[in-house]
Every structure is written in structure tokens, then in C-alpha cells.
Amino acid sequence: MRRAKFKAAAVAFIASATLASATLASAPAQAEIASGAVLANTCFSCHGTDGKSAGDMPTIAGKSEDFITRKLKAFKSGELEATIMNRIAKGFTDEEIAALAKFFSRR
Amino acid sequence: MTELTRRGFNKGLGATTALGALSLSGIAPATAAGKAQVVVVGGGFGGATAAKYIKRFDPKIGVTLVEPSKRFVTCPFSNTVIGGLNTIDYITHGYDALKGLGVEVVHDSAAAVDGAKKQVRLAGGGSIGFDRCIVAPGVDFRWEAIEGLDAGTAARIPHAWKAGAQTLLLRKQLEAMADGGVFVISPPVNPFRCPPGPGERISLVASYFKTAKPRSKIIVLDPKEKFSKEGLFKEGWAALYPGMIEYRNLAEDGLVRRVDPASRTLYTDFGEETGDVVNFIPAQKAGKIAQVSGLADKTEWCPIHPRSFESTLQPGVHVIGDASIAAPMPKSAFTASTQAKVCAEAVVNLLRGAAPGAPKFINVCYSLVGENYGISVAMVYGYRDGRIVKIEGSGGLSPSGATPEFRRKEADYTRGWYESISRDIWG
Ligand SMILES: Cc1cc2nc3c(=O)[nH]c(=O)nc-3n(C[C@H](O)[C@H](O)[C@H](O)COP(=O)(O)OP(=O)(O)OC[C@H]3O[C@@H](n4cnc5c(N)ncnc54)[C@H](O)[C@@H]3O)c2cc1C
């Protein structure tokens, strides 16, 4: 349990580092657990903690990085119709999508 | 109560971090300097999420959660209890999962938060020291804004805008009402918690009437010009409950000036309405603890730095959720919980002497118009030039004129959201 949490923090850190370099070049660089983890955290309210759904929402934890990236980009472009994800995916840059895909594929 | 704080902790920590001691394992250098202590006031959507996520980011930080109730009843889905679709048990959650993560849960009320002394004083006596405090008390009512009502009259004219006994009271009154009765509901002025909440309540009371009391009527007296998801709600009402709901807005004499609880009569500028059941939802302000601790400004809400949710009035104290001024984000459970995660991250970073990252948030408010008829409004928010901003091109409403299949899916996802967010917070 503890180990799992430490691992989670580590992955979060890596995701955030990716993001920080991708999109936050102007922000102070020293944020240690930054937007990568928090980006993914905001998805948990629907997709469940770490992307493991508790009900009718799709589980996205453990799906391949490629699958998640393709889905999110297709939601963003409108190529894939959905009830809500088009409206959400349009709020994220391609770099953020890449970081999110990496994060959830490793859960 | 024991003094849990180690003075000078922050400085020592900052120095360690600067030396690059932070390892990928996520273990804070705090271990070397002593245990950093965070006190969270309020165990609702904002506070309980913050307590959990601080532990998730860094299990070494001591987290104490102060919350008077042993069981938390959520406002989200309380309208389904009022409409008879769910029991109160379905929306009641406990704190065992948080305790399992090492959060110390103190069932008491905070009487004051002192940013200068870095102490939370408890109503039951004693105090708890903190390095940083997160305050998430939700809302209180501005009874002074309506003539005739106060906390006492809520036993006869329920608000049901805090869930629990009030939810059950309103349900009981609706059950006792005869078929052909009149339900009068009056939503509050802006800003208030859950902008689409009144529309959902009207819908689910209508769904109850439709099957149990089909000759009954609903009269809405709204002091505003428009309301959240108005077009979608009205489309749903026309489809599901034709002729049952009469909605009067500000221009249509919807502003209630006075209420007589004895006769259950609401007086507007030009008329009056008497209900068999009356649900008056008062105007709102940040919870009392924010008012008495110097965290609220003259608007009676709490100004914050949007990057960290640290109060602009009391350094070291953060305010999240309904009580905070975080426009353009609406006051919702989704918002409170996602702000809590941003705040938890910022607090952990600040305790390590690092700057908080730039936040990005989603808010989606789902509402049930009927059991199998869901609608939503969404937005993605970012941070720019010291402010929370809407990300252009994102968000918006469910389409109007959607198929029944689409509405059914959104109803299923509404339930899916509730189950995921509840488990994310309370385990
Ligand atoms: C009918 C209704 C339906 C809603 N539906 C939805 C929905 O579908 N989706 C959605 O996103 N939002 C919904 N909301 C909004 C949501 O309930 C609030 O926005 C959310 O609860 C805000 O979280 P919070 O942490 O700020 O406050 P709360 O969740 O209210 O938590 C505040 C906590 O602080 C505690 N507290 C207060 N003072 C003290 C003190 N002095 N010391 C210690 N503890 C204290 C209280 O006991 C409480 O537990 C709904 C609201 C209503 C009324």
C-alpha cells in the first residue's frame, strides 16, 4: 500500500516534469508535484481515482498510451462523437494529452 | 490538545529542497526536519478531498481533519432523495477511508482559525497548531436578507440546501401533501452553491408528482433573470412534465420580499403565493468560520490567490470550495474537489519550499431532469495573469434537441459521476 503510493507520486512527478517542460516554460521551474498529477486528478471525479471507475463511467486506467492519445485527439477534433468528452478534450493541448495518456496508461 | 507544530520547519525544508534533496520517491525532506502539520477545517467535498490528496502526495505530512459530523450527507444526489429515487443512505459517507490513509479525524467544530498564531481553536476546547491550514466550510445562509425566516423557521419552511435532516424534512412534507397540492420553491440570488441545483430539484419533485400526485402543481418564484441550463431544463419539463411547472423570473414578479411561515405564504412586490409545501432557499455567504476568522471580505466570500488558494487576507490559511471567490468557476462539488487537489498540491509544494504549479481544472455539473434524462454543463479552466480563466473553445452545454438515447446516457453518466467522485473522496 505504502509502496504503491510512493510509486504513484513518482509517476505523477514524471508526468508533471514532462508537462512542465512542454507548457509551463515561463512558470517557476521548481514545482515538485505539479500540473501533470493535478491534470490527471481532475479527471478522477468522473473516471475514478487513478482512472478506475466506480460506476457507469469508462475505466481508463491501464489503457495503452496510444489508445488514450488517439481517443482524446479524436474527441478534441470532433471526429469521435461523445456525450461530454468533446467539450472536455478541447480544453487540453496536445502536450497535455500526451502527459495524461502517459499517466493513465501506467495506472 | 498537543502542540503539533514545529517552528522553523518551513525554512529548514526550503533549504533542503533547494539542495535538491527531493527524490523521485515522493518522500518529503520533512522527515529530516520533523513532521509538517496541515489542519483541514470541514470534511465536505473540498476539505475531505484536500485531506486525502495531501496524504496521497506525501504520506509523511501530518493531516488533521476537523469536522463535526461523523457521517457526511452529500448535497449532490440529495434531490434524488427528495424525489424518492434514492434513500438517504445512498448519499451518506463516513471517514474510515481517510483514517486508513493516516488522516487524524477530529469530530468537533473549529471556533476560530488564527493565521498569525497558526492555530485552530476548537469549539470543544483546546487548539491544534498548523504549518498550513485549509478551510472548506461551505456556505451559510443570509437570513437577514429575507423578512420572516430564520434558522428556526427552517423546521417548517425547509431550505434543504444543506443535506441531511433538511433533505428528509422536505421529502416528508412532499409525501404528506395531498394530490392536487401546490409546491412553491424559491431559488436564491447569485452567487450560490450549485447554480443548476434548483432546476434539478424542480425536475425531480415533478417526477415524483407525475407518478404519485399527478394533479399537483409547482410554482417557482426566482429572483433572477435567468438560471443555469434554463433552455435544457425547460425543454425537459415540456417533454416530461407538460403543464405542471409555472416559472416566474425577476421580470415576472419572481422576487420574494417576505415569507409568512405560519400560513406558508410568500409575498412578492405585486402578489402572493401560498403553498402546501414551501421550499425557500436563502441567499448565501461563506460559512461562519470564514466570517469570524477574518477570511471573508465585505462580499462575505473569501478572496484567494488562485494558484494556491491561499487567502489574500490570512497568509498560511487556504480557502477552497463554495466559500472561496474563484469565479468564473461555479460553486459545485466538482469544483470544490478539483480545487482541493490543486490546493493540496500547492500546500505540499509550499511546505517543501517550492512554488505551486499552474493549475488546470475541469468542472462538470450534471443534472437529472428525470430518472433517465440527464443534462450537463462543462468547462475547462486554466490560470493566466494571476486569474482563473475559461479555456477558449472548451466546455458548454449538452445539445438541445438531443435523442432520448443521448439523455439516457447522460443520466447514467450522472450516476457514474456521483459514484466515482464519492469513492474518490470518502473511499
Ligand atoms: C441540492 C443540491 C444539489 C447539488 N448537486 C450538485 C451536483 O450534482 N454536482 C456538484 O458538483 N455540486 C452539487 N451541489 C453543490 C455542492 O454540494 C457544493 O458545491 C459542495 O458541497 C461544496 O463543497 P465544500 O467543501 O465547499 O462545502 P461542503 O461540502 O458543504 O462541506 C463543508 C463542511 O464543512 C463543515 N464545517 C462547516 N463549518 C465548520 C467548522 N466551523 N468547523 C469544522 N467543520 C465545519 C460542514 O459540517 C461540512 O461538512 C449541490 C448542492 C445542493 C444544495
Chain-wide mean pLDDT for chain B?
Answer: 92
A46/B416 CB distance under 8 A: yes
Q: Residue B10 has what pLDDT?
A: 32
Q: What count of other Cβ atoms lies within 10 Å of the Cβ of residue B280?
A: 26
Torsional sign, CA B326, B330, B333, B335: negative
Question: Which of B414, B199, B134 is closest to A45 using CA atoms?
Answer: B414
The helix (run of H) or strand (run of E) holding residue B373 is strand B373-384
- Contact between residue B357 and residue B335 where contact means Cβ atoms under 8 Å apart: no
Task: Give A107 Cα–ligand 1 centroid separation in angstroms.
Answer: 30
Q: Where are the beta strands (DSSP E) in B226-372?
A: 245-248, 256-260, 265-268, 272-274, 277-280, 284-286, 302-305, 310-311, 317-319, 324-325, 361-370
The per-residue pLDDT for range B212-253, each reduced to its tens digit, is 999 999 999 999 999 999 999 999 999 999 999 999 999 999
The per-residue pLDDT for range B145-176, each reduced to its tens digit, is 999 999 999 999 999 999 999 999 999 999 99
A48/B410 CB distance under 8 A: no
Task: Give B2 Cα–ligand 1 centroid separation in angstroms.
Answer: 29
Task: Give A97 Cα–ligand 1 centroid separation in angstroms.
Answer: 31
- Which structural domains are found in chain A, ordered by start? 36-105 (1.10.760.10)
Question: Which of B216, B203, B253, B242 is closest to B366 using CA atoms?
Answer: B203
- Contact between residue B363 and residue B76 where contact means Cβ atoms under 8 Å apart: no
Which residues have C-beta within 8 Å of that of residue B379, sequence separation ≥ 6?
A91, B328, B329, B362, B363, B364, B390, B391, B394, B395, B396
Interface of A with B (CB under 8 A): 2, 5-6, 8-10, 12-14, 16, 20, 24, 27-28, 30-35, 37-39, 41-49, 53-57, 83-84, 87-88, 90-92, 96
Q: Tell which wins on pLDDT, B24 or B51.
A: B51
Residues of chain A with pLDDT under 50: 1-32, 34
Q: Residue A29 has what pLDDT?
A: 35
Q: Residue B11 has what pLDDT?
A: 31
pLDDT band for B21, please (50, 70, 90 cuts). very low
Residue B17: list chain A partners with CB under 8 A.
30, 32
Here the ipTM equals 0.90
- Contact between residue B375 and residue B37 where contact means Cβ atoms under 8 Å apart: no
Pocket residues for ligand 1 (CB within 6 Å)? B 41-47, 66-69, 72, 75-76, 78-79, 109-110, 136-138, 161, 193-194, 197, 201, 287, 289, 321-323, 331-334, 336, 365-366
- Alpha-carbon distance of B171 to B183, in angstroms, equals 12
- Alpha-carbon distance of B420 to B416, in angstroms, equals 6
**For B291-296, which contacts have Cβ atoms below 8 Å and span 24 or more sequence positions?**
B291/B140, B292/B111, B292/B112, B293/B112, B293/B113, B293/B114, B293/B115, B293/B135, B293/B317, B294/B115, B295/B113, B295/B135, B295/B319, B295/B323, B296/B323
Q: C-alpha grid cell for residue B325?
A: 471567490
| B396-397/B373-384 β-pairing | antiparallel
Is the pLDDT at B280 greater than 90, yes or no?
Answer: yes
- Which structural domains are found in chain B, ordered by start? 1-17+360-422 (3.90.760.10), 19-68+108-138+287-356 (3.50.50.60), 144-280 (3.50.50.60)
For B360, the closest of A38, A45, A83 (CB atoms) is: A38
Is the pLDDT at B257 greater than 70, yes or no?
Answer: yes
- Alpha-carbon distance of A72 to B219, in angstroms, equals 43
Residue B306: list chain A partners with CB under 8 A.
none
Q: What count of other Cβ atoms lies within 10 Å of the Cβ of residue B4?
A: 18
Q: Residue A9 has what pLDDT?
A: 38
CA distance B167 to chain A (A): 24
